[in-house]
């Protein structure tokens, strides 16, 4: 039996750009995989993964919010990135077993590489991360692996940021990793010491709002705003107006999706295929995609 079914599992599960881009890239690779939408509540995740494991017609699954952090224990095996981050966004069937991967980390690496300068072979050392979900876990894992020395995680629900920090306690033993409450005064104080700000909170994905007031961002900062559907965001514009460098989430999305397609089909899609598909989903010309920070 051919493994052609690929559920996207989340709750809620709005229509996303990822589905259309994946369909195009998988078809271009000659894959017969068909994407399905499975809206499942957290208590239904284990049952859904068990169904996928038992069915030889499943190529794997894509794990969306809020399930990424709950998926690793349901894997038969984990990639290094999934293990380190404590989050899975792709299950791929390998020799009859479900292996969990985190292609979000590949995306984060690409996004950071588009804006951060290399100084003696290294990136800056201090960062603030907004958000504490699966995407934020990918960000923090990459920052730890890239030699950052001070990382502060802020979330509107402090206990989630604290859980993230606790997960990384062993990997981050050589550095300072802290959870802080999401208050303007705290954000301002932490940004005064950090060269890099990453917005992984989801704020700005739909409405175009900024996650923080403009006056809190100091000059000359690097900003990675992991928003996909806008070439520029208010947060990016504020950073640039003060002499900083900024990038949106498009480079990260393209890199992550490329890895996802390879994991599921065995073929790496052409960059042009992904760019054209993303542009079509966003309703913009391909050359309008802002994938490299200024």
Are 17 and 76 in the same domain? yes
Are 78 and 159 in the same domain? no
Using CA atoms, how far apart are residues 202 and 79, in angstroms rounded to an integer?
Answer: 25
Of the candidates 68, 70, 120, 122, the residue annotated as catalytic is 68
Q: Which CATH number covers residue 138?
A: 3.40.50.720
* Cα–Cα nearest to 93, from 64, 55, 65: 55
278 lies in some domain: yes
Residue 85 domain boundaries: 5-102+256-284
Task: Supply the DSSP symbol for 170.
Answer: T
Are 98 and 119 in the same domain? no
pLDDT beneath 70: ranges in the chain: 1, 119-121, 207, 290-294
* Chain-centre distance for alpha carbon 275: 18
pLDDT of residue 294: 44
- Active-site residue 120, yes or no? no
- Is the pTM of the predicted complex or chain greater than 0.75? yes
The C-alpha angle with vertex 188 and arms to 139 and 201, in degrees rounded to 5, equals 35
pLDDT of residue 119: 65
116 lies in some domain: yes
47-66 per-position pLDDT tens digit: 999 999 999 999 999 999 99
272-290 per-position pLDDT tens digit: 999 999 999 999 888 888 6
Q: Are 244 and 232 in contact (CB under 8 A)?
A: no
Q: Are 9 and 64 in contact (CB under 8 A)?
A: yes
235-285 per-position pLDDT tens digit: 999 999 999 999 999 999 999 999 999 999 999 999 999 999 999 999 988
pLDDT of residue 50: 98
41 lies in some domain: yes
* Cα–Cα nearest to 269, from 2, 27, 59: 27
Work out how many domains the chain is built from and give that number: 2
290 lies in some domain: no
Are 116 and 229 in the same domain? yes
293 lies in some domain: no
Are 172 and 127 in the same domain? yes
265 lies in some domain: yes
């Amino acid at each position: 039996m051919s493994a052609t079914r690929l559920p996207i599992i989340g709750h809620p599960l709005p229509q996303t750009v990822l589905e259309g881009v994946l369909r195009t890239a998988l078809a271009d690779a000659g894959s017969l995989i068909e994407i399905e939408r499975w809206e499942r509540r957290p208590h239904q995740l284990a049952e859904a993964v068990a169904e996928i494991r038992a069915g030889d017609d499943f190529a794997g699954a894509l794990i969306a919010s809020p399930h990424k952090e709950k998926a690793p224990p349901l894997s038969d095996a984990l990639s290094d990135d999934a293990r380190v981050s404590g989050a899975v966004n792709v299950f791929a069937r390998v020799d009859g077993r479900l292996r969990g991967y985190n292609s979000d980390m590949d995306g984060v690496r690409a996004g950071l590489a588009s804006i951060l300068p290399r100084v003696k072979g290294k990136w800056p050392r201090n960062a603030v991360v907004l958000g504490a979900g699966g995407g934020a876990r990918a960000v923090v894992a990459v920052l730890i692996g890239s030699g950052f020395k001070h990382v502060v995680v802020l979330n509107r629900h402090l206990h989630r940021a604290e859980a993230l920090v606790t997960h990384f306690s062993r990997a981050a033993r050589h550095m300072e990793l802290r959870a802080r409450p999401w208050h303007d005064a705290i954000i301002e104080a932490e940004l005064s010491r950090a060269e890099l700000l990453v917005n992984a909170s989801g704020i700005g994905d739909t409405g175009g709002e900024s996650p923080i007031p403009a006056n809190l961002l100091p000059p000359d900062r690097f900003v990675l705003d992991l928003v996909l559907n806008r070439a520029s965001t208010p947060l990016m514009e504020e950073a640039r107006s003060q002499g900083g460098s900024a990038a949106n989430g498009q480079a990260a999305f393209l890199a992550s999706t490329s890895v996802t397609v390879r994991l599921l089909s065995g073929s790496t899609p052409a960059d042009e295929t992904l760019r054209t598909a993303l542009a079509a989903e966003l309703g913009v010309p391909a050359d309008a995609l802002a994938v490299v920070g200024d």
